[in-house]
Structure 1
Amino acid sequence: MTTNLKRYIISAGVVVSLASGTLFLGLAQANDQQNQNNQPSNTHPKPMIVQIGPEGKTLLRGTVSAVAASSIIVKTWGGDWTVNIGSSTQLTPGGSMSQFKVGDFVGVQGMASTSGTFLIDATLVRNWTAKETEQNNKQEINKLMKEVSPRNWEGTASNTNAAGTSFTLTIDGVAYTINVAANAKVVNRSYFTIGLGDIKNGDTVRVWGPSSNNTITAYVVRDVSIAPQ
């Protein structure tokens, strides 16, 4: 063991290496690369990390324990770290302090400050918990959009009204209110234009449009019971 390199392996798996003025605190993982830390991920990185380079450049990951107007406290190896967030600090995925909550898992890049203990002036703060929430919301919205996306429906018409813009269509035993859009195409079996007044109770009708809460906004209405004249 050389005089300028000392390693202490702590039972918790924390490695503290002091080599050429570089301080590394974190979990001992041989394949952990900093460039991987900067890549988007569907789930936040699990290990807490503190890395401080010889020029003071810092990479930190941990859990938010407090949120102030222009700083957050991050609990990670060594204890609580104060992360100063200025006007030039990049916040992601959201662009404001309001995204940070106690318990969020965050990653911080910046410079270790010499004006205080465990103090970082951040250039980038990534909220991994908020990013996961954002991705989950996108998935739920996409699922919802698929559920209410336009599709073809077929059923039996009732409550028809020549002067109105809606009627009832019973599909597989469920009654749907059909609101006919102003620019809707209303046609018969052979796709000739007809009026809503031509649709009679009991007719088999096909509509195309999105559904929400048993209401369908129809952009195409086709009465397949009406044969061409």
Structure 2
Amino acid sequence: MHSNTTAPHSSRRAAGLTLALALAAAAPVHAETGAGTALKNTAIAGTIATWTVAALKGSPFFGCLAHGQRGNDAWGGRVAAGKDSELTYESIGVERHECQLTDVGPFSLDMSPVISVGAWQAKSDSLYHHDAFDVAFVPMMHWRYPVSQGTRLDLEFGIGPAFLSEPSIGDRQKSTEFQFSDHFGIGVSSADGHWRAGFAFRHISNLSIKTPNAAVDFKGIALEWTP
């Protein structure tokens, strides 16, 4: 009986922490375009909505985070690339096989933790550093909808901490090495969860804990494979 009541309480605590983080991430930042603001807000609102549903359903977030899907907790790989008005980046990382959280009607919700390292490049005539790297950890959440026997469409949301080696890169001053990485994506994946490809948006911000906090809004693609 104790284990049955602990999981919902843990999920609600996780939802509360994520809600506070997401609300802080919505703080306005400098150098953000209209499209970037819309995509950032979609990432944050999607995260809030996803965690609210997961909490209400008593989803096993911490179990998925710590142990993965029972019977298939293998780690695979994820590569991504994107750009904004002056910066580009490429990243490579490890991603755990999707772990089922809950179902809502025809939609399924799962989580895949991602640990990644990214290389950033700026234009050669920029004011500050021309290259940098980041390390990030993001629990990616996916709402999936089956469209055929072997294929699903999905929406991806996630927020997690990141370390940025150079707070000033290109013409951007971000003030701190500690950042948060907000994600929104639209993708297609196999029904067995082995592969996924799609559009990937990534917003990097320090939540304005120190200013200036110039926005970085990468738009690009992500490719994933897990055993």
Task: Pick the TM interval, shorter chain.
Answer: under 0.3
Q: Return the index of the structure with the highest Cα Rg.
A: 1
Please, what TM-score do these two structures have when normalized by structure 2? Answer: 0.24
TM-score, with structure 1 as normaliser: 0.23
Higher relative contact order (CA 8 A, sep 6+): 2
